Amino acid sequence: MAENDKFRWILKSGWEGRCPRCGKGHMFKGWLKLADRCESCGLDYSFANADDGPAFFALCITAFPLTFLVVWVQVAYDPPWWVHVLTSVPVLAIGCLATLRPFKGWLVASQYVNKAVEAGTEGLWAKLNAREREERGE
């Protein structure tokens, strides 16, 4: 049961773009740009490292099913090419772009809740984050 609560919290905070610690502050300061810290509880988002994860999940979970739908429409109805330009391309583009932020939020929340770090790199990340804080004057 505890695992389900943890999973639900990760999905909820990631989907809504809310702080994974308090659930109140905003995780993003732009469309995909993470905030420096939560305005509510002060959580520093420097731990977050989503990399290409959101794009990977947008392609696998969103683009592949939509592509199969486009192929099915082509095989079943054989529409002219302009129908795909007016329907398929926008549906694929909007579908992938619209899911990037929820996927990134989910990955960041997952990293925080599960205290995820790359194995053996804790010291390197600490030095890197300390250097970045020093450069910002914190």
The two structure tokens encoding residue 98: 């619209």
pLDDT of amino acid 51: 86
Predicted model pTM:
0.81
Task: State pLDDT tens for residues 43-102.
Answer: 999 889 888 999 999 999 999 999 999 999 999 999 999 999 999 999 999 999 999 999
The percentage of the chain sitting over the pLDDT mark of 90, rounded to a whole number, equals 75
CA distances from 117 to 13, 52, 114 (A): 20, 16, 9
Q: pLDDT grade, residue 2 (50/70/90)?
A: low
- Mean pLDDT, residues 112-127: 76
CA distance 58 to 105: 13
Residues comprising the chain, all counted: 138
